[in-house]
Every structure is written in C-alpha cells, then in structure tokens.
C-alpha cells in the first residue's frame, strides 16, 4: 500500500495547465437580475460602497484588539495598535463623507470583510502562539489591508468622477494610511518574523 498522498488532478505537476475540473455549464440566462432599489446612478453605487466600507471599518476596529492580543512580536503589536487608532480616525472620516453628501452615516454589512475576519480567526486557531501565529496574523492583516486599499482606491475614483471633492480628500487620506500600514506589515514580516517562523 502506498503511503504517499495522491496528488489531486489539478496539481502543478502536470505542467500543462489543462483544467480537468468539470466545466460549469453556462446558462443562457446568466445575467444577474437587479434587486429592488438597486443603484441606477454612479452616485448611488458610491453611497452604497461607502456604507459597505463603513461597516467594514467598524467591524475591523473591534477585531484588531484581538489580533493585537494574539501577537507576540513587539513591532507587530505596535503596528496593530497604531492601526487601531488610525481606523478610529478613518471611521470619523467616513462620517464626514456622509455629511458632505447630506446623508446620515449608515452601515451595510460587508460580506468580504466578514469573510476576511473569519479567516483571521481561523488562522489564529490553527497556529500555536509565537512566531508562527504572528506570521499568520500578518498574512490575515495584509489581506484585510489589500481589501481596504482596493475599496478606497475605487471610492476615490468614484468621488473624483462625481466631483465630490470633500469626500475625495478624506478617501485619499485613508487610502494613504492603508498603504502605509500594508508596507509596515511587510517590513515586520521581512525583518524578523518569517525567518524565525521557519
């Protein structure tokens, strides 16, 4: 009997990138029907997206202290601590955006952030505390930052097209912070963590 784990059909070993997975049948009616009250104008989509990231930031600010508590590396802990206060400011900036639009600040569940936070939780459960868990926390945190960078980049582009200068100013400030946080996490990972985690 062979003990070696059999490779799945779609492993890299085959060289050719032939996909053996069953083809998903494409239905003729593949277009997604819009829900009632769906956005018609870019402005509506902009506002919906603001509500989404507002929810995401509020969820994140609750999750970050848990990540900080689970981290052991000093630099990682302080990077997360710093980002908690930045995130609080980012929430305030979003409130300013709603105000500038004459809307009340409203949160709408962001499924992506929920998924990223769930994944972060599992990474912590699946790693022993110490350098390996730290590496996992960095991975989870960077996925979150990348989601935020994508979101704020898009929101800033929308604000620009829509001529929402006040919003644009706030969104660009936050975008810059998210990028800086991501770079800092890369640095923490590069300088000590990943080599120790080996």
Binding residues for Fe ion (CB under 5 A): 52, 87, 90, 110, 112, 148, 178
Q: Cβ closer to Fe ion: 70 or 90? A: 90
What DSSP designation does 192 have? Answer: I
d(CA 56, CA 114): 8
Chain centre to alpha carbon of residue 59: 11
User: Whose Cβ is closer to Fe ion: residue 52's or residue 134's?
Assistant: 52
Tell me the C-alpha to C-alpha distance, in Å, between residue 3 and each of 6, 10, 13, 181: 9, 20, 19, 44
Least distance (Å) from Fe ion to the CB of residue 90? 4
Minimal distance, residue 31 CB to Fe ion, in Å: 22
Q: Which two tokens stand for residue 16?
A: 């050719």
CA distance 179 to 145: 7
Whole-number Å distance between alpha carbons of 73 and 144: 19
Of the pair 94, 123, the CB lying nearest Fe ion is at 94
In the complex, minimum distance from the CB of residue 19 to Fe ion, in angstroms, rounded to a whole number = 29
Q: Which one, 90 or 131, has the nearer CB to Fe ion?
A: 90
14 vs 85, which CB is nearer to Fe ion?
85
Phi and psi for 173 in degrees, rounded to 5? -60, -50
Q: Which residue is nearest to Fe ion (CB)?
A: 110
Distance between CA 86 and CA 181 in Å, rounded?
A: 10
- In the complex, the smallest distance separating the C-beta of residue 108 from Fe ion, rounded to whole angstroms, is 9
Determine the straight-line distance between the first and last CA of the chain, rounded to whole angstroms.
Answer: 32
Q: Report the residue number, 107 or 112, with the smaller CB distance to Fe ion.
A: 112
Taking the complex as a whole, the smallest distance from the CB of residue 73 to Fe ion amounts, in Å, to 19
Alpha-carbon Rg for the chain, nearest whole angstrom, is 21
Cβ at position 110, least distance to Fe ion in Å: 3
């Amino acid at each position: 009997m062979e003990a070696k784990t059999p490779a799945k059909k779609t492993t890299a070993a085959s060289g050719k990138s032939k996909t053996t997975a069953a083809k998903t049948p494409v239905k003729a009616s593949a277009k997604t029907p819009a829900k009632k009250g769906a956005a018609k104008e870019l402005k509506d989509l902009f506002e919906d997206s603001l509500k989404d990231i507002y929810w995401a930031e509020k969820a994140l600010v609750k999750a970050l202290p848990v990540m900080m508590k689970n981290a052991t590396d000093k630099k990682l802990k302080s990077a997360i601590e710093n980002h908690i206060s930045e995130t609080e400011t980012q929430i305030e900036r979003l409130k300013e955006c709603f105000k500038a639009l004459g809307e009340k600040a409203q949160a709408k569940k962001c499924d992506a952030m929920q998924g990223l936070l769930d994944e972060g939780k599992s990474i912590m459960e699946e790693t022993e505390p110490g350098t390996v868990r730290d590496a996992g926390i960095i991975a989870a945190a960077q996925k979150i930052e990348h989601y935020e960078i994508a979101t704020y980049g898009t929101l800033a582009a929308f604000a620009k097209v829509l001529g929402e200068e006040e919003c644009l100013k706030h969104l660009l400030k936050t975008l810059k912070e998210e990028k800086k946080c991501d770079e800092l996490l890369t640095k923490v990972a590069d300088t000590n963590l990943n080599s120790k985690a080996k």
